[in-house]
Amino acid sequence: MDISVEELTSVDKEVTLKANREDLQDDFNKAYKKYKDQIQLPGFRPGKVPMGLIKKRFGKDIEQEEISNIVQKVFEKEVVPEYEPVGETEMVDFSWEDDLLEVKFKIGSKPEIELVDDLSSIEVNKMVHDVTDEEVEEEIERTLEREGNLEEVDEPAEERDVLIVDVVTLDEDGNEVEGEVDEDQKIDLAQDGAKDFREELVGQKPGDVVDMELGQGDETDRFRVTIKKVQRRHKAELTDEVIKDQSNGEAENEDEFRSYIKSRMQQYYDQTADDLFKNDVADALVEAHDFEVPETFVSQVQGSYVEQLKQQQGGELPEGFNAEEYKAGMKERAVREAKWSFISQKLQETFEEIEIKPEDIDEHLQMEAARYGMPADQLKQYYAQQPEMLEQLRSSIRENKVFDILQDKVSINEIGKDKYRELQDEKSKKNQ
């Protein structure tokens, strides 16, 4: 079989496989012989169906199947070792006409990356925050509000009230859209995500009707909100029972409870800061390295986004969902993720001190087991039976070790959470 390769970009190639019937005839003959022993037709004993009849009745299907097998074998034995494709291989064309076979594949190759000479030239902001006693008290207040009860009042709504409302979608002219009604919707004005509702609905009382607009331009949503109930929170008391319940039995009095809350909040901020740093340092390194990534690899990442969305939706995509449109909208993110994947691999090759030890895997599995509330040995046994998941775990550990090393190599600007959020908002607006 003839194999030719065309360079589309520095990382994208088109592989063409060509053959004629003479090249494939030996394989066809073996396939016919195999099926001759299996095919049963009325009037013939098993294995005694004439070859001419087999070719006439089943020849096209047998040859088509055998061609697929041959192409797969040639690709795996000759193309893969030579070009080491990355990402999902894409079949561009398949033709078997007039005893001539021509198959075209698009494959990607690993890009050549030359890391910046001095990683300390990479500057990254890192959020640092020490939880204050005031924040602890605010969290305790929120906890007591959640554990308290709600009383229906015939008064104007306040910022921490819960509203029961009917919502009707409006068209651009302010007319109600038939059938677009959500009744008895619950709006917790105390929630961070309820800011827009809070601005419009605080001060309104049962029976009031408010027309609202959310978004801008073509993405503006218009609706009419009818307030049916205003429910006011009454805080619970900080009793020993509440303390034990909210601390999972780790605290028995108010001082211990405040220490518990402060510790949990600090863990949250530290973990958040670590996650944000990983994302920011990855972004900084992607920006500092200019190279092409194979389209097939980017397509694979885009496909993974659709699968993630499918899993989030319980295994089924929303009705009318346009997967291709969704993937197109996610391409920029997919390119960024693809670039980071190759940079991370290069860093893993460069950092000689990266080594995964059995205790690294045990530690990670213990943390995962604690998170899901299951025995570590049971989770370890599960991973042992799933080689792909175990390799994903090892890959995750390797990348975490890369980030640990990067913390000592890049230049880090430690800034407070308010300043960090301000800079992130500015960055987000700039990207938009």
- 39: in domain: yes
- The CA distance from 290 to 339, in Å, is 9
Of the residues 234, 251, 283, the one at which a domain ends: 234
Share of the chain above pLDDT 90, in %: 66
Query: Are residues 404 and 279 both part of a single domain?
Result: yes
Q: Which CATH number goes with the domain that contains 304? A: 1.10.3120.10
pLDDT in tens, 298-310: 999 999 999 999 9
pLDDT in tens, 160-183: 899 999 999 999 888 999 888 999
Identify the pLDDT of residue 432: 63
- 259: in domain: no
- 60: in domain: yes
Query: Are residues 271 and 210 both part of a single domain?
Result: no
- Residue 220's pLDDT band (boundaries 50, 70, 90)? confident
Does pLDDT of 239 surpass 90? yes
- 327: in domain: yes
More confident call, 199 vs 427: 199
Query: Are residues 99 and 178 both part of a single domain?
Result: no
Does pLDDT of 372 surpass 80? no
Average of per-residue pLDDT values in the chain: 91
pLDDT in tens, 400-418: 999 999 999 999 999 999 9
- 136: in domain: no
pTM for the complete prediction?
0.77
**Amino acid residing at 145:** E
Domain count, the chain: 3
pLDDT in tens, 75-120: 999 999 999 999 889 999 999 999 999 999 999 999 999 999 999 9
Tokens of residue 266, six digits:
């600090």
Of the residues 76, 108, 140, the one at which a domain ends: 108
Identify the pLDDT of residue 54: 83
- 412: in domain: yes
Query: Are residues 305 and 196 both part of a single domain?
Result: no
